Structure 1
Amino acid sequence: MPAVTRLRSMTPKEAFTVAEMHIEPGFAVERDTLRETAFGFYFHVTTKDYLRTGDLVDLPVGSCGVLVDRLTGDVHDLGSAFGLEYWLEAYDRGLHLPMDVVVLSVSDRQRAASALMRLQMSYIIPEVAYGETWTIPKHYNQKDFIRSFDSLPARFGAQRLIFRMHDLDAIDENPDVNIELELHKGG
């Protein structure tokens, strides 16, 4: 039996150091905001000016902090589009990675297609112009989904679902369509 190589999980102290090295000058990682998750370590980030003055005008805009991957040390900046709990769960579920959405079964084709539309999935059309190959994303439409139901399971590869966690949860509750997420393999 081959040996299994396991990456060593970083410590909170190591994660804090990585987060500090990642942030822009003028910002500070707040050590006392550490939250450990299955994915890694969360730290709130604010401006040094806010820590010094306490004045609300010195608070950063559009940031929910950083999340440090416990295995790789990669740092993920969390935006303000969602609250902290959303981001932590989405990363724990692996939604920051490209996923294949696999449709396993459909009971109502029209309603299943409508449910999948909420995910805003797309595919790439390579286009050559001026000696360069451009990758143009195109969104799947209702008809694309309905056609795909002719041959199940239907696979929609390399989807970015980090902003679609609530929509995925709604699909999980939808009796019209059964999907599975798989980590995308390949390019």
Structure 2
Amino acid sequence: MEIKQINIITAMILIFSSCTHGGYNDVRDVAQWVSLEDGERDEYYYRIEGSIYGTTENNCSCAIKYNSPLEVDVATFLIAKGNDYAKDKNQVYFPISLRTVDFLPGFEDCDDATYITRYVVQNADSKSFKYLGDGYAIDKHHMYKNGERIPWDDSVIEKVRLAQTAQTECQ
């Protein structure tokens, strides 16, 4: 009898966890997801010799010398053009914590660079991740603002849905 109860509870958990949050299907992803070519930088992401660095640094020597590459799957890494989100096949990224280097002896060209120190959006599902605009994003289960998970807010979904509907009608 106990085994049947455990199986029923397990089945209910699996069914509930696979459900999509209400409102998810009502909005579309507004991001233009693109990959970076070698030597290309956009926002905080800089691709150098097959690695991705999280920095505002324009000098690749400085980016390599004073920063470690981000732990991402470079082959599937995509940035959301015009905002700070990025993703690969495994995770979603955002510059959550940053450090600024004011002066580096011997590397004066590297002054005032900002480097990402915390960047993984915890528990975000990269396969269902959608950028909504103004720092808001969702996946099938959660809502995010500037890389941090927040309580699901149906009013955000409604505003985005109305804006997207109006935009479609104007086209």
- Shorter-chain TM-score: which interval? under 0.3
Q: What is the TM-score normalised by the length of structure 1?
A: 0.25
